[in-house]
Amino acid sequence: MTLVFKEVRAQVCSNRGEEYVDEEIASRLLKTAGQSMRINWHRMI
C-alpha cells in the first residue's frame, strides 16, 4: 500500500536546504497513516 500526502507544511533546513516536518505534523501524518492502514486492512479481510 502506498499513501501519499500532498501539500504538507514543511520547514527548510538553512544549512542543507532539505525539507522536513516538525514533530506535531509528523505525529498527525503517522496517526492518519495508521488509521488508513486499519481501514484498508479490514476491507481486505
pTM of structure: 0.69
Q: Is residue 4 part of a domain?
A: no
Closest Cα to residue 13, out of 3, 26, 2, 22? 22
What is the reported pLDDT for 9?
92
Average of per-residue pLDDT values in the chain: 88
Domain assignment present for residue 3? The answer is: no
The amino acid at residue 45 is I
Question: What distance separates the 2 farthest-apart alpha carbons in the chain?
Answer: 47
Per the structure, the complete domain to which residue 25 belongs is given by 11-44
**42 pLDDT above the threshold of 70:** no
First to last CA, the chain: 15
pLDDT reported for residue 43: 65
Calculate mean pLDDT across residues 4-8.
94
H or E stretch at 28: helix 23-44
* Domain count of the fold of the chain: 1
Which residue did the predictor score with more confidence, 36 or 24? Answer: 24
